[in-house]
């Protein structure tokens, strides 16, 4: 557990989350940051019946990075993966619901699951179960809709809102939870309201001040102004372009999704050494949208960022995106210098990668391990 820090690890026992101060501490010279996980503290807590939760494995472990990224691409909804390791005959969390869909994948041991109907169907992220703790506790006393034991290889689907709790049986239990964060119509509502808020700021009437001396403690004092505001907002909402709302919803969703990591040093070295035979590959799991040219510029939307390029590069960009990978010299519509310039820009912007670059490391960096291994004189 060297270097592991919260919140990538949580601990829970009997329905309560353990205070991180009980299992974190500075870890010696050069590692004085206090949120680092203490392995001996985790050992003691696990021996006392606490569940260990490894969070964000879709950001840390290559097989799950690939799995979660491809699943998100296939489903169109962001994903995450956590792992739960529970001691025998123990329970980490009390009955609760999640605000995202969950697939439970049992990996080791056995766990007894109890599932109840929702107290709030399809809850939003702003509607966590803790806001309805009393309702959840009461609903958990009613007969369950599912009462089952999961063993290695079993899977369970929990739509958001369904109450659930689980107890490990006679041995250590480990399972993965694959969370699917749904893109909802409420997300479109929020995107539309954000757009209206931006557009309506240009309305002089809506920017007007309320009368001097207005008494806001009197609900009737601002009625006329509030009525005018609502009417103005309706006008702006009626004029909203659905395509703009959809684009904002796309941006909100893409902001939650991470493409495959790049090797910064190797890719930087590869960008400096490009030639016509270098293979260029679109960065795996990167969401990309090539927009129509406007004037002499074209926009390439790549994940959370937008890259502005000359409109003359659009055929080459379209060719690369359609093929997935091309040699630099095969980028259509450009001369050799333009091909190299575009390829270098795409690599340094982390839109494309050079697949063979994983073995390319700058000389100065390659010297470091050798120097460390060399005994002092």
Q: Walk along the chain (377 residues) and give the pLDDT tens digit of each residue.
A: 566 778 889 999 988 899 988 988 887 676 667 788 888 999 999 999 999 999 999 988 889 998 999 999 999 999 999 999 999 999 999 999 999 999 999 999 999 999 999 999 999 999 999 999 999 999 999 999 999 999 999 999 999 999 999 999 999 999 999 999 999 999 999 999 999 999 999 999 999 999 999 999 998 999 999 999 999 999 999 999 999 999 999 999 998 988 888 999 999 999 999 999 999 999 999 999 999 999 999 999 999 899 999 999 999 999 999 999 999 999 999 999 999 999 999 999 999 999 988 654 544 444 444 444 444 44
Pairing of strands 352-353, 325-327: unpaired
Instruction: Classify 104 as helix, strand or coil.
Output: strand
Instruction: Measure the CA angle with vertex 113, ends 112 and 114; round to 5°.
Output: 125
303 CB contacts (<8 Å, ≥6 apart)?
254, 257, 258, 259, 286, 287, 288
Instruction: Classify 177 as helix, strand or coil.
Output: strand
Architecture per CATH, domain 264-359, reads as Alpha-Beta Complex (3.90)
- Residue 364 has a pLDDT of 43
DSSP 18: P
- Residue 372 has a pLDDT of 40
Strand order in the sheet with 146-150: 146-150, 111-116, 163-168
pTM for this one? 0.84
**CATH 3.90.930.40 domain position(s) in the chain:** 264-359
Nearest to 90 by CA among 110, 116, 115: 110
Write phi, then psi, for 328 (nearest 5 degrees).
Answer: -55, -40
- Residue 375 has a pLDDT of 45
Q: How far is CA 58 from the centre of its chain?
A: 9
**Cβ-contact 37, 24 below 8 angstroms:** yes
- How is residue 23 written in tokens? 């299992």
- CATH, domain range 56-180: 2.60.120.650
- How far apart are the C-alpha atoms of 270 and 274, rounded to whole Å? 6
**CATH 2.60.120.650 domain position(s) in the chain:** 56-180
Neighbours of 48 (CB within 10 A): 11
Write phi, then psi, for 279 (nearest 5 degrees).
Answer: -85, 130
- Residue 122 has a pLDDT of 97
- Residue 325 has a pLDDT of 96
DSSP 144: P
């Amino acid at each position: 557990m060297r270097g592991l820090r919260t919140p990538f690890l949580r601990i829970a026992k009997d329905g309560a989350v353990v205070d991180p101060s009980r299992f974190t501490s500075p870890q010696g010279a050069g590692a004085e940051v206090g949120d680092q996980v203490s392995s001996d503290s985790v050992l003691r807590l696990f021996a006392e019946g606490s569940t260990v939760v490894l969070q964000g494995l879709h950001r840390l472990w290559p097989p799950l990075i690939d799995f979660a990224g491809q699943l998100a691409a296939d489903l169109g909804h962001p994903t995450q993966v956590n792992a739960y390791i529970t001691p025998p005959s123990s329970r980490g969390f009390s009955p609760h619901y999640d605000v995202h869909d969950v697939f439970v994948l049992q990996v080791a041991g056995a766990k007894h699951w109890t599932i109840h109907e929702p107290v709030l169907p399809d809850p939003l992220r702003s509607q966590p179960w803790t806001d309805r703790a009393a309702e959840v506790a009461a609903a958990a006393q009613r007969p369950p809709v599912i009462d089952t034991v999961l063993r290695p290889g079993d899977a369970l689907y929990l739509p958001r809102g369904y109450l659930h709790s689980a107890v490990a049986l006679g041995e250590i239990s480990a399972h993965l939870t694959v969370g699917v964060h749904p893109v909802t119509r409420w997300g479109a509502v929020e995107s539309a309201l954000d757009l209206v808020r931006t557009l309506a700021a240009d309305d002089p009437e809506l920017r007007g001040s309320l009368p001097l001396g207005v008494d806001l403690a009197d609900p009737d004092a601002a009625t006329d102004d509030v009525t005018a505001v609502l009417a103005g907002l309706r006008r702006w909402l009626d004029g909203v372009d659905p395509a703009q709302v959809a684009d904002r919803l796309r941006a909100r969703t893409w902001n939650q999704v991470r493409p495959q990591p790049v090797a910064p040093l190797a890719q930087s070295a590869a960008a400096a050494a490009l030639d016509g035979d270098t293979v260029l590959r679109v960065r795996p799991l990167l969401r990309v949208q090539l927009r129509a040219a406007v004037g002499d510029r074209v926009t390439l939307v790549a994940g959370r960022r937008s890259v502005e390029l000359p409109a003359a590069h659009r055929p080459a960009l379209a060719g690369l995106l359609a093929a997935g990978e091309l040699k630099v010299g095969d980028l259509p519509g450009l001369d050799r210098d333009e091909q190299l310039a575009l390829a270098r820009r795409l690599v340094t912007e982390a839109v494309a990668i050079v697949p063979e670059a994983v073995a390319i490391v700058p000389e100065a960096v390659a010297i470091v391990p050798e120097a460390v291994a060399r005994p002092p004189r």
